[in-house]
Amino acid sequence: MEDLLNKFPIEDTDELYHLINKLKYISQSYTQHVDSVTSDLIDKDFLDEIRNVVMCGSARVYFGKTLRNLKIVIRDDTGLRDHELFLEYQSPRKIVVTKAKLPYSPEQSREYKCLEEVIDTFKKCINDLERYFYELEQIDQFCTIMEPINASFKDDYRRILLDPRTWLHVEVTPEGLATNIHLVGQSVSWHNKLQTGLLKWDHDKNIVDNVMSIFDLSSFPQPATMCSQNVVPGDEVEDAIVCGICLCAELPDVPGVPQPLCQNTTCGVYYHRNCLYQWLVACAGSRPPAFGVANGTCPTCLQPITCSEKDS
């Protein structure tokens, strides 16, 4: 639907009047005679709302595959970022948000009486998230992000590559503060640096600067790539990390990528958390583990290993 939304801009003022007049005619005429199309149409008052929004320039508006589906694009007060909201007109004075590339807030689950109410509410939310956006942009720019795949402002966490066996999990609060910082993977040296560095965390610095200071980094490592003398320049293929159990990099019903979950630093095998958890449960006779933590041995190196049902 998003591709279709981008095909129908209604920003030009002259074209807008022509479009609104035509839509008014449709809404007044066809809905009286053709029941099959009424679900795709909207009322005259809502068309006037759309016209007023475009005229005053408070947001850019796009129609979707039906007149009831809209995308509005709101620019924040810095003028640096555009934020997309996807809306559905359900009935007069009833508009709902179907999708927003923003961290979840209660405003995304309520109903709105008019388009201006949606824009005013989310413009305030967006401007309140300025520090949040800044911190995520800094992390995405300077760090090597392992998860989430195709990270956006909707994702309030990042997993940063420290070395091939260790990632740093960082969550960012709406106020732009770092929280729930922990390692994914086992490394005594990284663990000791993290524990010591967290006590010296400088809240006057951004998250990236603090991470670089904690781990004594001048730059962040890049993921390894496959290189071969037979590879044509420009056709290099990234060496995708695959799960040692399902042998896949991504699964359609399992979010995330394989992680270095084995505590044996010489193992070198990655697993989807869900795959490893199910493996350990099956090896234990399919009995549900206590407190959601499965214990057993690594499928590859046979060293002791634990895995929680949910990500920590």
pLDDT, mean of residues 290-303:
84
Check pLDDT > 60 for residue 229. Answer: no
SS3 of residue 238 by DSSP: strand
Q: Which residue has the tokens 């995330």?
A: 256
Q: Give the C-alpha separation, 273 to 244, whole Å.
A: 11
pLDDT, mean of residues 275-295:
83
- Cα 190-224-238 angle, rounded to 5 deg: 140
Element (H, E) at 161: strand 157-163
240-312 fold? Herpes Virus-1 (3.30.40)
- The segment(s) of the chain belonging to CATH 3.30.40.10 are 240-312
pLDDT, mean of residues 100-105:
92
Chain centroid, CA 125 distance in Å: 17
Q: Which residue has the tokens 């634990």?
A: 306
Check pLDDT > 70 for residue 93. Answer: yes
| Beta carbons of 37 and 93 less than 8 angstroms apart | no
Q: Give the C-alpha separation, 73 to 224, whole Å.
A: 37
pLDDT, mean of residues 246-257:
78
Cα–Cα nearest to 86, from 4, 173, 174, 172: 4
Question: How high is the pLDDT of residue 30?
Answer: 42
- Find the range with the poorest average confidence among 19-33, 51-65, 192-206, 210-224: 19-33
Check pLDDT > 50 for residue 38. Answer: no
pLDDT, mean of residues 157-168:
89
Cα–Cα nearest to 59, from 44, 70, 46, 45: 70
Question: How high is the pLDDT of residue 64?
Answer: 86
Q: Give the C-alpha separation, 113 to 167, whole Å.
A: 45
- The segment(s) of the chain belonging to CATH 3.10.110.20 are 131-214
Distances (CA, A) of 64 to 4, 21, 180, 186: 6, 18, 39, 48
What pTM does this model have?
0.68
Question: How high is the pLDDT of residue 235?
Answer: 40
Counted residue by residue, the chain has a size of 312
Question: How high is the pLDDT of residue 9?
Answer: 52
Note the helical H segments in the chain: 2-5, 13-29, 44-56, 115-128, 130-142, 188-198, 207-214, 273-283
Q: What is the CATH number assigned to the segment(s) 131-214?
A: 3.10.110.20
> Which of the 8 DSSP states describes residue 31?
G
Question: How high is the pLDDT of residue 2?
Answer: 44
Question: How high is the pLDDT of residue 107?
Answer: 94
**Tokens representing residue 50 in the block:** 């759309």
SS3 of residue 92 by DSSP: coil
How confident is the prediction for the chain on average, in pLDDT?
A: 81
